[in-house]
Each structure stands twice: as structure tokens, then as C-alpha cells.
Structure 1
Amino acid sequence: MSSAPVSAEPAAARLVASAPWDAEADDALLCVAVRDETHDVKTFVLAPREPRLFAYAPGQFLTFSFEIGSETIHRCYTVSSAPTRPHTVSFTVKRVPGGPVSNWLHDTLKVGDTVRALGPMGEFSCFNHPAGKYLLLSGGSGITPMMSMARTFHDLGGGRDVAFVHSARSPADIVFRGELDTMARLDPAFRVHAVCETDSPAEAWAGFKGRLSLDILSEAVPDFREREVFVCGPKPYMDAVRAMLAGAGFDMARHHEESFDFGALPQAEQEAASEAAEQLDAEAGAAPAMRTFRVEFAKTRRVLECPEDSTVLDAARKAGIRLPSSCAKGLCGTCKSKITTGTVTMAHAGGIRQREIDAGMALLCCSKPTSDLVIER
């Protein structure tokens, strides 16, 4: 039996990959395609420098390190591609006015460029909540994890009952519109509906109009109460959907959400931690004196005092110093910073590599000082 012919086509070389991609071994990814999804949304397709296979659950994210100017900026983006097509991985980004990363990606990142990534990470996935019927609800850029889930179910077949309802500003802002329509045409068990707030200059919207409401949801997906529901989008959208489902008698144990507004998370965690600490103090009596350490940010020359029981990120926020952060759980890597002087204790959740820790890097959201610090920011 003769072996398959060797092809000179570079794309064919990627198909011989047999080993999984491992960010710990090589975190560099090549941009192999840039695709315009809408007037202000692009998809960036990445591949390892050597043929490797990506393995992840639909809905997970990667944390990227972008070299913008003289600064390294970390951002987490949900994977929009499906693990059923493992030779490349994609993320999709909407241009945000004034956004340093989204504008840099849209204007600068091109085929042949290299970015660095860590992951995949995250628990928001349909794979973690198997069900007979699913409802995917997304608003704006929140469509990306839903698209990964929808693509995965479509590729795997089996007639999975999936209803997808996406909210957009106008018809021109419906991301992946053509692909979603094609998937619905090919698979009767997959139904897609768009809800648009207004018309676009080139199209008067004939579908559901306004914002997602219980009436619209009931008409589009009458059996929504029987489904496992996944929700992603801006915080106001998430809050409205959560309240709508709860008010409709939906079993909220089957409601799963992923928010891009990670900034809302630390406050709730701080309040919970504060309440727990107060309870412990009441039970144990007077606490020993708390040590406080000096924290200096070398580039901005800002200085603050950080108690030993506080993370550097929390102390910075209380001092009015804004630092890049997202998950505040030691997961995404957005707040990764170099500690040039001093030591910390760090309880992270996978958002930093051991070699980075050995090089003096730390995640400020989960790092508490054990000495005075100088941080390269």
C-alpha cells in the first residue's frame, strides 16, 4: 500500500499535526488569517508555528500578551472557533472607540504576525452542563462563546436541539449572520433568531425588533423553560436576562452566564471577604496587629500602603489607582506585572506560568505583600 503523497502546499503541513498545542512549551501563535465579520468586528485566525492540535471546550478563553508600543498588555478573549476544527484557533474582536487593544488589533495585527497566548481556561461551556435541549442567548460581542458552542454542535451532528437568540444594535451588527443562517438551513434542529434595536441604513429589519423581552423570547423559543440556558453579553444585558428568566419561573439552576464586565466581580468578592473577616473577628476576639507594606509603581511613581491581608489590586483600587484587570480570580492573566523588589504570596488559578513566576512576574489580583514592593508599572 502506498503512502499519501507529500504536498508542497504549506497548509497541508498543518494537517500532519499529532501532538497537542501546549502554551507552556511554546506560547507563540502565528496569525494566518484576518476576516471582516461586520463593519467593526474582525476575526483573527491563529496557528502554532509547528503543526499542533488545539484542544478546548467551546466557551473557554485564551489570555493574550500583545506588544503595543513599548508595553506588554494582557487581554483575555473567548475562542470563537470550534474544537472540532483543531488545527487553528480563532478569536473575534469588536473595535471599541478609544480601546487600546481592540484598535491595535484591527489596525495592526496582520497575517504573519506573532502573538503569545496562555490557556485555554474557563468553566463557561455547554460541555460542563450536558442537556437534551439548549438555549444560547447573546448580546453584542457576547456572541463569541455561543458561536463556538453552536459550531461544535453543528460539526458533531446528532440533531442536537439548539435555539440561538442574538441581540444586536442593527442588522449590520449581526456577527456571523451568514454562517448562522446556513447552519439553520442545513440543520432543522438548530434555530436562530436575531433581535435588532433598530434598522441599518441598508436594511429595514423585518425580524424581532427592540430589546429582548419575555414576549419575544416566548414567541421565538416557546419551550425555553425546558432548556439549559447559556448567556453572555454586556452587564446590562446579562442583568436584564437574569431578571427576565427568574420572573418567568425559569429554574435558575439551569442558567449559566459569562460576563465581559469582569470589573463588577471584585466588589462582590471584597464584600463577601469583608463579611467573613468580620464574622471571624467576632468569634475569635481581637485580631493581632495588621502589618502594612509600601507598594511603589516604578513607571508612574505612584505609592500606596497595602495591608498584608489585601491583594495589591484591591489596595490600588482603594487608592484610586487604575490597573489592568479582568477576572480578579488569578485566572485570566490581565493584571500580570513584574515585581522588581520584594515578595508576595500568590494564590492563582492558572493565569500565570511557573517560568513567569520564576522571572518575578505576579498576578496583582491574587498577590498579597509579604514585604515592601516595587512593581514595574
Structure 2
Amino acid sequence: MVLGPERGSNLRLALGKFMERLENSAFGFKVAQGDQKLRAQARKELTLILGKAYRPEIAQMLDQRPGAPIAPATARTPAPPASVASPALSASVWPASALSPGQTGVWSVGKTNVRCVSVTWETADTKTYSFVSDPPTLFHYKPGQFVGIEISLPNGVLRRSYTISSSPSRPYTLSITVKKVPMGWMSNWLFDNMVEGFECAISGPAGKFTCFDYPSRKLLFMAAGSGITPTMSMLRWLADTASDADIVFINNVRTPDDIIFHQELLHMSTRLADKLKLVIVPAAASPARPWHGPIGKLDEMLVKTYAPDFREREAFVCGPPGYIAVAKSLLADMGLPLEKYHDESFGGLPAAPPVPAARKALPAASAIASPAPKAGPVPGKPAETAPVDLARQAAGSGLLPSRSSAVANAASAMNAAAKAPANSQALTIPRATPHTLIAPATAPNATASAMNAAAKAPASSQALTMPRATPHMLIAPATAPKAEISIEGTSDKFGIAPGQTILEAADAAGVSLTHSCRAGVCGACKIRKVSGEVQMDNQTVLSQRDVDDGYILTCIGKATGKVVLAP
């Protein structure tokens, strides 16, 4: 085949251009290293064939239009390098460009300052607030955990714990999603005042409600209202990390207008395809918004329809206390193993104000001393309960002190009156007052003596007059040492009343202790106990290691004697 002089010259130039690019590439570098000797030999032979045509300085002529005469080679002026923005300019436009996983610090525990960078409306009463750390750091936590938000105001400090709705797989920002609720001081303040640029502090992270610690091939998520926030964090993390877990998510809402993350949930359902079975169930339809999905409340049929294999799944339930109670009871009755059930309650009420121990458990006096009003018969119960039974029931149920001599002797007196002759006059016992309900163990048993005398009195005797207890008889001398709290290394010291928590006593004394939920749920008030005894009923936040190391929760901890806390 004859190419002709012009076509042959163009072919040589093309081959020369190819060899130039080959030598300047990474592949050419490997060839030069001798790891492929046969190809290196072929390159040499091709260079000999091309001869003078293989000259890099004339390879640029290939870029000219076909048929154009070949211009003589001229010296090329190197093109100026592309302008590169300064690091400061890049950071101002792309803040994340200044963060490098290998060089930037990572926040994983403790307190740090943050700045709000965006506020996003989710529903009419719910917003998502996104923060960056200041100074810049990357956020590290487990999906589903929460942080404490602390906002300093001129008249005090607002503190509250909120679940992180963002995913740790996206470490540049941290987001919380907050629903505005009645009497929610912190949520209302955030809703009305939090804007881009606002600075506050976060602490944490904390919380055990996370699928991270319970790896499973099958997951069941159930959420109601703002309880979707930890679920969303876990869903985002599972999607970003290419998990192959099979997920069923049942999201119960009031109406279609109250669906938080609605569009993202639909997108995620499409993105994860068969890995995610999403069902959103409003309790009622919205008048102005069509809804073509299921409507109703959480029940057995709903669970069996979308998660027939629920017994094989690790279940995570989050929502208001009422929803948690229904879901837990339902799943337990349906046979879900207890070790596969995990929940976190939202919207718990703050701890009740302290009540003096002597009057905290006492009902109205008339409920104990007076006979119960007659009512219709109740299956399995007598139609009327005798006064002596009321007294016994009150003592057994904890309504009265179990060792109080007043109740026991009152019951004896009533028994004696019930056995009195028919012609005897009825024994008249005055209505009990709060002063007569509590009798000290060491005080003279004046009430018992009076009642026994009344039982032995003749029928013609007058009504019994019970002596009024005097103040020194009402409160027994304290045998336990007075409770007192002190902070090690500081001058802070305050007393604590019986039945009062450490946090309540600190607030009353004007001592600031870190806290949030005030209900033993979030763990923000965790502090180490140096010495002394502190009782915590039904705490589930601290790990056994925390307890062994001496940590307590001040919002539910009640001190006995003198207690010293670490600063």
C-alpha cells in the first residue's frame, strides 16, 4: 500500500506525537524503568523507523487543520500556569477546604464552641439548625447520639439536650432538628431567635440509642413526631457507608403536614431501593393535602404487614412517652425478644419541684379516716369496704408510714367499736387532721391510749376526744447526719433537704451545675463523686464503668450525709 509523500509524513508526525506523550506519561515512566523490556525495545525500534520525523518540537504541527502547509518549527513560549487562589481566599469561599482529616482536629468528647451556618424549615413547627465548630474541627460521634446545647443570655443560661440529626459520615457540620412545643423554653427560643451566625456551645456526645453498637443484618426503625431525628441520623449513616442492612422504617405522624424530612425520606427510599422499606402513617388526613398511603395508628397489623419477620430484627423505637409505651408493649406481646428492643423517649416532663418528705405521700385526711362512699358493685371486689380495710390498704400501699403507731392503733379501735353491743351508742371518732396522721416512733402513744380507753368505755360515755399532737410530736429527731454538698477545690457548699435532688439543692443555693433534661435521661449532669453516699433510683444512663468510677447524675441523685463532688 502506497501512502504518498504527504500522508507518509503526516503518519510519521502522528507516531512521533504518540511517542512524545507516551514518554511523558506514567506508563512511559514505567517503560523507562525497564519493568517491560519488550515494550522498551519496541519503542527504540519505532524511533529508528521514524528517524528525523520523531522530533518533539514539530509535534505541535498536528494540531493544524488538515491540508494546511506545515510551518517551520518555532520556539514555544510556555503558557503561564493557571492562577491558584490563596488558601485564605479558598477557605472564605469553601470553608471545608481548610479541613483535612489528617491535619484538622476532631471533636469527639467535651465542650466546644459552634456557630450556626444554616436554618432549614422542615415543617410549620420544626427547623433544622446546622453548626460548624469554632475553631474549625471535624465532628465525630455515633449515629443516634445527642449533644447538650448551651446558650448564654443576659438573664441566665439555657441548657437542653437534642439528638443529632446529621450523620457522622458527614463530619464538616453538625445538625439538630427541633420541634417547637408548648412550654418548651429552649425549643421556643431556638425557633424564634436562632439565625445564621449565632454562636453557642455544645457538649457531649452521649447516648446509647444507636444501631452502631448493635450490628444486625435486619433493622426495624419506629418513630413518631420529632423522634425521627435519631432515626434519620442512623439512616443517613447506613446509606453513606454502603451498608447492606435490610431496613424497615415505620414513621407515625399526626397528619401529612407533620412529616419531618419528607422529601429526603422519599429520596432515600429510592436511593436504597430494596434495602429500605419505608411506610409513613398519618393518624389523620390533612384537609388541604391529598394522601394516598395508609392512615391510622400503630398496631399489630401494621407491624406484621411491613415487617413480618420483626422477631429477627433489631428494633429501635423513638418518640413521645405514650408512643414508647404502646410500641414496647405491642412488640413484647407479639414476641420480639427483649434483647432486640431499644428505645429513647422524647418530651419527658422535667423533674417535679421538691416536696417536703413528711407531706409528699400523704393524701387528703378524709380519704383515710372517713368511710368510702357507696358505689355500684365491681366484679371481684366487695360492694363496700370497711374503714379498717381502708386503713390497712393505706398503710400497705405506702400512703402512710408503715411503722406509724397511729394507723395501727386506729385500726384496733375501729375493730373494738365494730364488736360493741348492739344497744351501745356508736363510737364517735373525730375527723383526722394532718397533725394526727404522723406520729413519731419515740413519742408517747397518747392516741393509742385514748382509743383503747374509748373502746372500754360504757355505752353511756360521751364521744372520744382525741388530743391534738404537739409540734414536738410531729417530727422525730433525725438520726442520720444532715446532708451537705461541697465542690472539691472551691468554696461552693450547700445543704440539701430530705427528698431533694442534688441539682434542686444547687439551684436553690445559687450554685451552677451543668444539666439539661432534669429527668435522668440525657446524662448532661454527670459528675464524679469524690466521697459520700448518693442514691439514684432506676438510672439507665451511666454505664457500669461510670458507676464504678464514682460518677452520678445530679438531677436524680439524692445525697445521704456529707458528699464531695469533683469540680
Structure with more relative contact order (C-alpha pairs < 8 Å, separation 6 or more): 1
Residue 289 of structure 2: which of 189, 203, 208 is its match? 203
> One-letter code of the match for 1:218?
K
- In the alignment, does 2:359 pair up with 1:169? no
Residue 479 of structure 2: which of 272, 280, 289 is its match? 289
> One-letter code of the match for 2:177?
T
> One-letter code of the match for 1:328?
G
Secondary structure at the aligned position of 1:219 is classed as: helix
- 2 CA distance for matches of 1:347 and 1:12? 51
1:312 corresponding residue in structure 2 = 502
Residue 243 of structure 1: which of 329, 343, 346 is its match? 329
1:255-288 C-alpha deviation (Å, 9 max, x unpaired): 001112545999xxxxxxxxxxxxxxxxxxxxx9
- 2 CA distance for matches of 1:305 and 1:8? 56
CA RMSD of aligned residues (A): 3.6
- 2 CA distance for matches of 1:132 and 1:22? 27
Q: 1:196 deviation in Å?
A: 0.3
Q: 1:371 deviation in Å?
A: 5.8
Q: 1:292 deviation in Å?
A: 2.6
> One-letter code of the match for 1:14?
A
1:193-240 C-alpha deviation (Å, 9 max, x unpaired): 111011113313221211111101211222222110000000110000
- 2 CA distance for matches of 1:330 and 1:59? 13
- 1 CA distance for matches of 2:522 and 2:345? 16
Contact 2:216 2:245 (C-alpha < 8 Å) held by counterparts: no
- In the alignment, does 2:180 pair up with 1:98? no
Using the aligned pairs only, state the percent identity.
Answer: 32
- 1 CA distance for matches of 2:517 and 2:264? 33
> One-letter code of the match for 2:255?
S
2:311 corresponding residue in structure 1 = 225
Q: 1:22 deviation in Å?
A: 5.6
The structure with the largest strand share of the pair is 1
1:278 corresponding residue in structure 2 = none
- 2 CA distance for matches of 1:316 and 1:23? 25
Residue 200 of structure 2: which of 115, 140, 153 is its match? 115
1:147 corresponding residue in structure 2 = 232
- 1 CA distance for matches of 2:534 and 2:132? 32
1:183 corresponding residue in structure 2 = 268
1:69-97 C-alpha deviation (Å, 9 max, x unpaired): 51212100000000000011000000112
Matches within 5 A, 1:22-101: 24=110, 27-101=112-186
TM-score (norm: length of structure 2) = 0.51
- 1 CA distance for matches of 2:242 and 2:337? 28
Q: 1:330 deviation in Å?
A: 7.8
Number of corresponding residues: 321
> One-letter code of the match for 1:163?
V
> One-letter code of the match for 1:366?
G
Secondary structure at the aligned position of 2:317 is classed as: strand
- In the alignment, does 2:451 pair up with 1:366? no
Secondary structure at the aligned position of 1:187 is classed as: helix
The structure with the largest helix share of the pair is 2
1:299 corresponding residue in structure 2 = none
Residue 107 of structure 2: which of 21, 26, 44 is its match? 21
The change in CA–CA distance for 1:294 and 1:367 in structure 2 (over 3 A counts) is: closer
Residue 10 of structure 1: which of 92, 117, 125 is its match? 92
1:131 corresponding residue in structure 2 = 216
The change in CA–CA distance for 1:330 and 1:256 in structure 2 (over 3 A counts) is: closer
Residue 245 of structure 2: which of 160, 176, 188 is its match? 160
1:124-149 C-alpha deviation (Å, 9 max, x unpaired): 11011110010110011110000000
Tell me, which stretches of 5 or more residues in structure 1 are unaligned?
Answer: 267-287, 296-302, 318-322, 337-342, 351-361
- 1 CA distance for matches of 2:235 and 2:532? 42
> One-letter code of the match for 1:234?
P
- 2 CA distance for matches of 1:116 and 1:32? 14
The change in CA–CA distance for 1:69 and 1:347 in structure 2 (over 3 A counts) is: farther
Q: 1:304 deviation in Å?
A: 8.4
- 1 CA distance for matches of 2:504 and 2:192? 33
Secondary structure at the aligned position of 1:365 is classed as: coil
> One-letter code of the match for 1:368?
A
Contact 2:518 2:555 (C-alpha < 8 Å) held by counterparts: no
Secondary structure at the aligned position of 2:140 is classed as: coil
The change in CA–CA distance for 1:167 and 1:14 in structure 2 (over 3 A counts) is: same
- 2 CA distance for matches of 1:330 and 1:290? 31
1:115-172 C-alpha deviation (Å, 9 max, x unpaired): 1110101111101111001011001111000000000001111332111111100001
Q: Which moved more, 1:212-221 or 1:255-264?
A: 255-264
Secondary structure at the aligned position of 2:497 is classed as: strand
- 1 CA distance for matches of 2:285 and 2:502? 46
- 2 CA distance for matches of 1:346 and 1:290? 14
> One-letter code of the match for 2:480?
M
The change in CA–CA distance for 1:344 and 1:72 in structure 2 (over 3 A counts) is: farther
